Each structure stands twice: as C-alpha cells, then as structure tokens.
Amino acid sequence: MNKIPVKVFADAQAAATQLASETADLIRANDDAGRPTVLGLATGASPILYYGELIRLHRGEGLSFTNVITFNLDEYVNLPPGHKESYWFFMHHHLFNHIDIQPENIHLPSGMIAETDIPAHCEAYEQAITSAGGIDLQILGIGRTGHIGFNEPGSPKDSRTRAVQLNEITREDAAPSFDGIEHVPTAAITMGCGTILAARRIVLMAWGPGKAPIVKKAVQGPVNNIVSASYLQEHPNAAFYLDQAAAANL
Ligand code: F6R
C-alpha cells in the first residue's frame, strides 16, 4: 500500500542517527572523489536531532563540512536574519555555528528582499543550485497541510523557488513560537516542488502522532496538488523516515 519507501525506526533519535550516518558516508565519498556535497536543508522541529548528530560526527569523528554546500528550503518574508524565528537564525543556532562549513557555502532565500526584486532573487537561487551541481541529498519535514518546504495545497508539481502566502494551519502551528498568530509572517520564499524533486536523493522525516494522518495521505493517497508531499511518490529515490507514532496509520 505504501507508494514511497518507508523506514520505521524505534524512535526519532534512531532515525536521525541513521540519516546522519548516511550523510557522512555521502560527504566522505564525494570528498574522496574530489567533489563537493550539496545538501538541501529544512528547518522546524523534525531535523533538530539530525543536526545534533551531524555536529556529534563533526566533533567526535572528524566529519568535515569544508566541501559541503547547503541550500535551505525556505525563509519567512520580512523577518530579518537576526530574528530568533528566522530560518537563518535557526540554521546557525542548530547547525552552522557548530561545524566547519564555509560561510560562503551557506545559502538561504532572503526574507528581506524588496518585493519587486523577489522574482530575480528566486531565479538567482535556482541558478546557484544549478551552478553547485544540483542537490545530492534533500532533507524534508512535512506540515499538517502536506506541505514540503512552504509548498502549500495547490502548489504545482513543477513549481520553482518563489514567494508564497502561508496557509492558516501552518501559521497556527507557528503561533506558539512567535507568541501569537498575529506575529507570524503571512508570506515566505520557498523552493518549489520542482526544485525539491530535482534532488538526487530525498529523505522526509516525521515524528509523533500529529503527523500520522498526513503521512498516510502522502504515502498511500493519490498524487495530487492537495498534498504536495504526495509528489514524492513519483521520485525515483525518495524515502520517509518515521518513528512508530508517525507511521501508526500506515
Ligand atoms: C521547514 C519547512 C517545513 C517544515 C514542516 C514541518 O524549512 O520547509 O516544510 O519541514 O512545516 O515542520 P516541523 O518539523 O516543525 O513539524
């Protein structure tokens, strides 16, 4: 019944450890071949344990990020990088400040671009991914709306990096960390579904019972634009890494 390969782990930590180990293998193989490794990264609660594991591998096992290039999925519009809820801040706090990545290899969309310059900014982001050689491994979470990145319901499969309006469910989910929904931005810049699907390997992480219904729709439901994550069924090398609770409805 599963239309995407699913790995169910004893808990989120076990999954994060496995994914970090796979990431380290990829980085080391590319290092040996003299190639950079291009990672597509996500924010939110789901990847925090994974980033912790990458830091542990860097500190404890000498994993180097010198030849790693990163592209984040998204950023809120009108939130400066120093804001504690900006994704720039999140990524530096949870990963970049603790590893040896070169600052010029870190890419996030900017939320502070003038509205008229956003299309050119998004086009440049796509170009930068292409110039880096495309994404080797894309990390994803899934929103309750089925979004990947901020590709809310209605996002076309071939969509590219662009500005989007945030769904109200997504804003409600963000409200506690912003101390109220009135402080949650209404727009974001996100990689498109097409940008994500161009990655050579994709792993979506989901933990906890709150994700079980949408995981079931994405993995077993029809492929459509109501659940953006369902597009992953058509990717040749995508997988869901779940804990027992997120997998409970499969
Ligand atoms: C984050 C992102 C989102 C989240 C999703 C799940 O960069 O693009 O798609 O991955 O909203 O969020 P969490 O992990 O907080 O449940």
- Residue 30 sits in a domain whose CATH number is 3.40.50.1360
Contacts of 137 (CB under 8 A, 6+ apart): 22, 23, 26, 37, 38, 39, 40, 199, 200, 201, 202, 203
Q: Which residues are catalytic?
A: 152
159 domain residue, yes or no: yes
Query: Ligand 1 within 6 A of 205 CB?
Result: no
Ranges under pLDDT 70 in the chain: none
33 CA → ligand 1 middle, Å: 32
249 domain residue, yes or no: no
What domain range is 138 assigned to?
Answer: 6-243
The count of structural domains within the chain is 1
128 domain residue, yes or no: yes
34 CA → ligand 1 middle, Å: 32
The whole-number pLDDT of residue 233 equals 98
Identity of residue 172: E
For 24-33, the pLDDT digits (tens) are: 999 999 999 9
Nearest ligand 1 atom to the CA of 190 is 8
Contacts of 202 (CB under 8 A, 6+ apart): 137, 138, 140, 196, 232, 235, 237, 238, 239
Both tokens of 246, joined, read 């997120």
SS3 59: helix
Residue with the two structure tokens 């808990």: 11
101 CA → ligand 1 middle, Å: 23
Identity of residue 58: H
The whole-number pLDDT of residue 102 equals 98
Closest Cα to atom 9 of ligand 1: 149
Query: Ligand 1 within 6 A of 40 CB?
Result: no
The Cα-based distances of 100 to 120, 133, 135, 187, 243 in angstroms read 30, 21, 20, 32, 30
- Measured distance CA(58)–CA(98) in Å, rounded: 9
- Measured distance CA(93)–CA(71) in Å, rounded: 16
25 domain residue, yes or no: yes
Cα atoms in the Cβ-side hemisphere of radius 13 Å centred on 226: 6
Check: CB of residue 187 under 8 Å from CB of residue 122. Answer: no
69 domain residue, yes or no: yes
52 domain residue, yes or no: yes
The whole-number pLDDT of residue 244 equals 98
Closest Cα to atom 11 of ligand 1: 143
Supply the pTM of this predicted model: 0.98
